Structure 1
Amino acid sequence: MFDNYIEGLFPDFIANFTNLTDLRIYGMKLQGPIPKQFSNLINLKYLMLGDLDGANSTIDFIPDSANLSILSLRKCGIIGQFPSTPPTLPNLTYLDLRSNNLSGQLQLLLPYKSSRYLYAGDNDFSGHLPAEFIQPSLALDISYNPFINGLLPNNPTDRKLSVNYIGTAIDTSRAINSENLTLLNCLHMKECNRKYYANAITSFAVNCGGKQTIYSDPLPIRFDDDTTDLGAAGFHVNTSMQWVVSHVGSDPFRESPRFVNTSQVILGTDMPELYQTARTSRSALWYYIVGLSNGKYTVQLFFAEIVIEKPGKRLFNIDIQDRNIKTDFDITKEAGGFRRPTNITYEVTVVNSVLKIHLHWNGRGTCCIPYEGAYGPLVSAIRGFSPRKSEQQPPTSTASVCAK
């Protein structure tokens, strides 16, 4: 059960269906708590719950099970300390605990280090990052756990890691690219290097998922390259232009693309190439611009749906400076069709020299059309400028939405 408007309390009678092997309840308007009797569902292979409001839950509804391979509990209102004796799940490959209020030492999750995906971001875990988690076979998200600290463990191999620790207190001073990583301190106003404010910027432009592109409008506008593959969890720091892109999320059943593109012409715009590529995520994308002059900015987001033909299938939320500006945003509907451009223009005030753009899936829309994992936020480009620079006007598309 997912992607509909069923309301009411979470159905506790499901706990009686002890032969269930697959249970998915998310993207609806149900109220918690999750019944503790769910611990009787020991035959489950897939348990995917999410997007619950109402009363909080504790984590003791998770059964000990040799069958469970996928456990997703994103945004379920789960509170309290993670148990010192965690549920026994020897065949778990995918664990998603994001956006709850779980606490306790991060090392309590070590029994699940053999999973392929371990998402624990946006909680209250604490302590150091165990070195056992730093392995190429594991996609790890511990972002936005402000009490996780200590040194960043060394990479034991030459292979690229898939780790996102933005929003933690981890010390990166011994990392190979530690100079680049100091930019992350600015995101939570911790020991931000003054060089990022010495020459404050008043504009930015990023070609999300695409190569560097320059347009004249009427003066040259350079959209920065944004083609770094972030894996199933990760971030990239562009120190020269002072922005960061962060991503978390992968479909549990299929390797998920981080970029999409089309060779088809995008009509209704004077910059069609910009809309032919996009960065996408199964869960969440963040863009941070660091070192902006404080003041008012015009922010523009560029979209074109180039994967899913029908409206109502890709839905996601958009926040700017932690304020929601769009819920269930539907690119195809807003643009008036498939492979058509639409822009969102939003006026914002920057007060701490950092601009934050957050696009995130809310459990609604398709999951499997035209392929497994075709959901979540998608964006073609972002741009911002200070209105004081009157020569910089936003490019146009046929469809444009102003969010105030």
Structure 2
Amino acid sequence: MVTNKMFVFWIIAMSCFSLLRHAEFKVPREEVDALQEIATAMGSLYWKFNGDSCEIERVGVTLVPPKNSKHGISCECEANGTLMKFRALKGYNLPGILPPQLVKLPHLREIDFAYNYLNGTIPSEWASMKLSFMSLEANQFSGPIPPQLGDLVNLKTLLLSSNQLTGNLPVTFISLRNLTDFRINDNNFNGRIPNFIQNWRQLRRLEMHASGLQGPIPKGLFLPSKLLVLRISDIQGPSNGFPMLRNMRGLVTLVLRNCNISGRIPDYIWKMEYLAMFFLSGNLLSGDVPDSILKQGTSMMESLPCKKSFTCPRLDSNCLHVNCGGKHTRIEGNKYEGDGDVEGGSAEFYINKDSYWGFSSTGDFMDDNDFLNTRYTVSVPTSDMSELYKTARRAPISLTYFHYCLVNGIYTITFDFAEIQFTPDETYNRLGRRIFDVYVQDTLVWKDFNIESEAMGALKPLAKQVSNVNVTNNFLEIRFTWAGKGTTRIPRRGVYGPLVNAISLVSGSCLGLLIVGLLWWKGHLLGKYWRKKGIKEDMTSGTFTLKQIKVATNDFDPAYKIGEGGFGPVYEGQLPDGTKIAVKQLSSKSRQGNREFLNEIGMISCLQHPNLVKLHGFCVEGDQLLLVYEYMENNSLARALFGSNHNQLELDWPTRLKICIGIAKARLDEEEKTHVTTRVAGTILGTCLVSSPGGPLPLQACHLRKSGNLTALLDERLRSEVKTEEVELMVNVSLLCTNASASVRPTMSEVVNMLEGRTSVPDLIPEPGSYTEDLRFKAMRDLCQQGSSRSQAQNSTTVHSFYSSFTSY
């Protein structure tokens, strides 16, 4: 009998060999054609499959496949024909849909379409197949799971994480008794966690964090005893979470975060001999963690060592600048201390004893093939962003920065963020979502914070502030916490959790400059005190003597004058150490000059931003009010845009349009930070459009708008490349911004909405009487009414006056 069996096996083997040698196709022709249909439906522009060798020779949307992309297919000869296993088209950024044509491959057992850009729904036709493995992770699938998929009784692995799936888990899934791995993280499901999960007796891995399913965890739910990995997070309702774990002894990873579980942690949790990692934060738990568990490097909650353990030799710190994950660097005059040399880890704690600050991080990144990671910093080597945004520190669960030995008082914290692990291109990399919570002094300030969403794109810098932070015990704590939301495997495994590029802490003492000015303004003898003491130059304290400024500007030599600054002239100067400065001279006899002096000290000295000029300090002596700024090479926006000759255009129209919108958004960003909404007066947008020999835009736009010939405003070299509707939009917005009535001028948010087409521009031509309040606008009205017949020589004085007032810094 054995001989007969061997003979049959030999015959089958020889038949297969003969088939391989002589058949036109090793894979049946109908299956080769089905593969072509499948590739087309999935959006593959390039496809070549060799049926003789059973090899995919070309696939994807580009000739050169993306890095880390994978495809897999194999063919095996069996007694009933060729068995093809189509295993993977993974990481190719395919933009199509899931193909129902898979049913044309009767021997198909495994599919892996993860890390693509696929969309649409899961085909119900797949229910007739005999799949044992299905991975659709990290795509854009939406809609509910077809209940027919409950017929896939051979399914062992079902991975649906990082999509946009909705609806309930089908009750038909009770039939999936062979499941060993089930993951639905980061979706939009609804309904409760189903009880039928306990019928999956072979289950080894269950992940449902941020799935959308709601609590509470069912009381009668007892999870399969073979479970090794359990991750559930962010569910609502009080949960009786621990009885379901009573029968498990082999659990290795336990994550039950933000599940509203209350009560004492039962002893049988600590008796799980293989438990290597557990996170139970965000619950109302009691009891102590045994020392034997803590020594394993596991974590239950994110916390710092006892604050009493910090000793302060002195209390003199009132500021801090940290370049998170980077090296020491100097940005805009501020020294940022780097922590890039500190690797991090699952339970890292670091203290900088010289500067009284430090950080702690907890957790281990899931599924990144690096057990108990040691490197929690990331960087982007090639980027146009400043040095501050090229590095960042991250953490899988919690990242806490702290500063002790602080002078008690009110502080402002500036956070610098940039999403440097995702990309803005049309690939699966842009599908990543990083979501975390931010706490300051144990107060939640931003929930479900998403850097990319806030910055309106990946690889874009974002600065956000938290003001009025009260320090009463000489200790400041900033905590970033991952609450289980967002993707965890895009662009690769283990990319998630809080991330921050830099942190700046500034005391409210910078407002002391404002108080100093107020004291002087109210008649106190502070000016006399300064003169008596002869205060020396100190750029950190922000005070200068009149003598020092006179030396720097050659006694306000007219040759050093570089422009007008609103309520006084601006002079170029140089300090003894070579630092170039710009000095604005205000009139102490003018209430407007007094007001501008106080406003600029109070606002600019306490704000730091790449788009804001830095205020070094001030001088108050006698009748002199002087503000000392960093020197900017170009003294006006118009000159920065157009060069020294305002009549010569050095930028093409699309670039000019982008710059104008960018400037408007930068101003809007500052307004949002300071909560001060202004109505622009044409300085920003009007200057962007100054372009023709006729002078500033408002002086010509009135009559050109009526004649419908707005392109006459542009240099002849640009007229062929612009769109008339864009010119009209920019001119109309600029005219609205230069309206004589402040109440008519738009806010910057309204300007941005109009420029980007979200709102329409209202009627812009004002009544003549509205110009009477301002001689500049009166002159403009007269010119508009009289048309272009007036000569350029007659207009020169008015034009120059108007132009200087709204183009100077």
TM bucket, shorter chain? 0.7 to 0.9
Alignment of 1:393 with 2:607, yes or no, is: yes
Aligned counterpart in structure 1 of residue 239 of structure 2, from 56, 81, 89: 56
Alignment of 1:324 with 2:444, yes or no, is: yes
One-letter amino acid matched to 2:297: A
Q: What SS does structure 2 have at the residue aligned with 1:92?
A: coil
Structure 2 CA distance for aligned equivalents of residues 237 and 316 of structure 1 = 24
Deviation at residue 139 of structure 1 after TM alignment: 2.0
Q: Which residue of 2 aligns with 1:246?
A: 360
Q: 1:74 to 1:207 in 2, by over 3 A?
A: same
Alignment of 1:265 with 2:383, yes or no, is: yes
Aligned counterpart in structure 2 of residue 291 of structure 1, from 401, 405, 412: 405
Deviations 1:124-173 (A, max 9, x none): xxxxxxxxx54xxx3243656xxxxxxxxxxxxxxxxxxxx6245xxxxx
Does structure 1 conserve the Cα–Cα contact (< 8 Å) formed by 2:197 and 2:223? no
Q: 1:202 to 1:7 in 2, by over 3 A?
A: same
Does structure 2 conserve the Cα–Cα contact (< 8 Å) formed by 1:143 and 1:166? no
Deviation at residue 7 of structure 1 after TM alignment: 4.0
Structure 2 CA distance for aligned equivalents of residues 403 and 84 of structure 1 = 52
Provide TM-score, normalisation by structure 1.
0.73
Deviations 1:262-287 (A, max 9, x none): 111234xxxx1111110001111111
Deviations 1:59-83 (A, max 9, x none): 2210433553322112222222222
Deviations 1:331-378 (A, max 9, x none): 222223322211111202323122221111121111101111100111
Alignment of 1:338 with 2:458, yes or no, is: yes
Q: What SS does structure 1 have at the residue aligned with 2:287?
A: strand
Structure with the greater relative contact order (CA < 8 A, sep ≥ 6): 1 or 2? 1
Q: Which residue of 1 aligns with 2:274?
A: 91
Q: What SS does structure 2 have at the residue aligned with 1:14?
A: helix
Deviation at residue 312 of structure 1 after TM alignment: 5.5
Deviation at residue 403 of structure 1 after TM alignment: 9.0
Deviations 1:83-110 (A, max 9, x none): 2344753433332223323333432x74
Q: Which residue of 1 aligns with 2:265?
A: 82
One-letter amino acid matched to 1:338: A
Q: Which residue of 2 aligns with 1:307?
A: 421
One-letter amino acid matched to 2:503: I
Q: 1:214 to 1:18 in 2, by over 3 A?
A: same
Q: Which residue of 2 aligns with 1:68?
A: 251
Deviations 1:217-254 (A, max 9, x none): 3xx31111212122111211112111121111112322
Q: What RMSD, in angstroms, separates the aligned Cα atoms of the two structures? A: 2.7
Alignment of 1:15 with 2:286, yes or no, is: no
Structure 2 CA distance for aligned equivalents of residues 105 and 373 of structure 1 = 29
Q: Which residue of 1 aligns with 2:284?
A: 101
Structure (1 or 2) with the greater helix fraction? 2
One-letter amino acid matched to 1:379: V
One-letter amino acid matched to 1:221: N
Q: What SS does structure 1 have at the residue aligned with 2:197?
A: helix
Q: 1:42 to 1:334 in 2, by over 3 A?
A: same
Q: Which residue of 2 aligns with 1:139?
A: 297
More displaced 10-residue stretch of structure 1: 21-30 or 379-388 = 21-30
Structure 2 CA distance for aligned equivalents of residues 266 and 204 of structure 1 = 26
Deviation at residue 392 of structure 1 after TM alignment: 5.2
Alignment of 1:44 with 2:227, yes or no, is: yes
Q: 1:47 to 1:54 in 2, by over 3 A?
A: same
Q: 1:346 to 1:287 in 2, by over 3 A?
A: same
More displaced 10-residue stretch of structure 1: 202-211 or 17-26 = 17-26
Provide TM-score, normalisation by structure 2.
0.38
Q: Which runs of 5+ in 1 are unaligned?
A: 114-132, 145-164, 169-183, 187-191
Structure 2 CA distance for aligned equivalents of residues 313 and 35 of structure 1 = 29
Q: 1:297 to 1:403 in 2, by over 3 A?
A: same
Q: Which residue of 1 aligns with 2:327?
A: 211
Q: 1:343 to 1:104 in 2, by over 3 A?
A: same
Deviation at residue 14 of structure 1 after TM alignment: 2.3
Structure 1 CA distance for aligned equivalents of residues 202 and 221 of structure 2 = 12
Structure 2 CA distance for aligned equivalents of residues 339 and 202 of structure 1 = 31
One-letter amino acid matched to 2:482: W
Structure 1 CA distance for aligned equivalents of residues 255 and 674 of structure 2 = 33
Structure 2 CA distance for aligned equivalents of residues 331 and 286 of structure 1 = 18
Structure 1 CA distance for aligned equivalents of residues 312 and 277 of structure 2 = 40
